[in-house]
Every structure is written in C-alpha cells, then in structure tokens.
Amino acid sequence: MKMVEAHHRLLVFNSVHRVMVAEQKLIDKFDILLLPVPAAISADCGMVLRISSTDEEQVVSLLCAAKLQPFSIYTLAEDGYVQVGEFS
C-alpha cells in the first residue's frame, strides 16, 4: 500500500503549529496520518495530514469550527496532486 492513494485527501496548512493542533483535534475521531509534504505540493509547512475522502466533510466542519483556517485539500490524480478545496 502506498502512503497516499486516490481515496485519500491531504490537508495542507500554513504552519507546523496548525498541523499539530489539527492532528490533536482529529486523531481520536478519524483515521489520520501525519506525513511530509510531497515534493509536488508547494507549502510553507513541511507536514500534511492524510485523511480518508469519506471523512472529508466532517473533518472540514471540525477544522473550521476550531478556526484552523487557512488550509487546502489535495487529492492524488494521474499526473500528480490536484487541489480540491481551499478554506480561509
């Protein structure tokens, strides 16, 4: 199994602090994994959170309620990563 597959989403934040806070908010409720930012994604922060696409809506709601914006969501496509959401 690859670290990131088509059914995953990557949450990209603008700081390591926000990633760590988001991880703490999500870890007990969802299957998440902290990963280095893939080289194909330009980000100010060096880490991303991997979530399942089936959890995306609930995760976004929780993160927005916790005021952890801005963050972006990426998915793996045939030719690399594609941004599928941006929350600010």
67 is in which domain, residue-wise? 8-87
How many domains are there within the chain? Answer: 1
In this predicted structure, what is the pLDDT of residue 1? 63
80 in any annotated domain: yes
Task: Determine the angle formed by the axes of helices 16-26 and 56-65, rounding to 10 degrees.
Answer: 120
Query: 49 — phi, psi (to 5°)?
Result: -105, 130
pLDDT digits (tens, 9 = 90+) for 17-75: 999 999 999 999 999 999 999 888 876 778 999 999 999 999 999 999 999 999 999 99
Which DSSP symbol is given to 55? Answer: G
75 in any annotated domain: yes
49 in any annotated domain: yes
Using a cut of 0.85, tell me whether the model's pTM lies above it: yes
82 in any annotated domain: yes
2 in any annotated domain: no
- Residue 70: asked if its preceding bond is cis (omega within 30°), the reply is yes
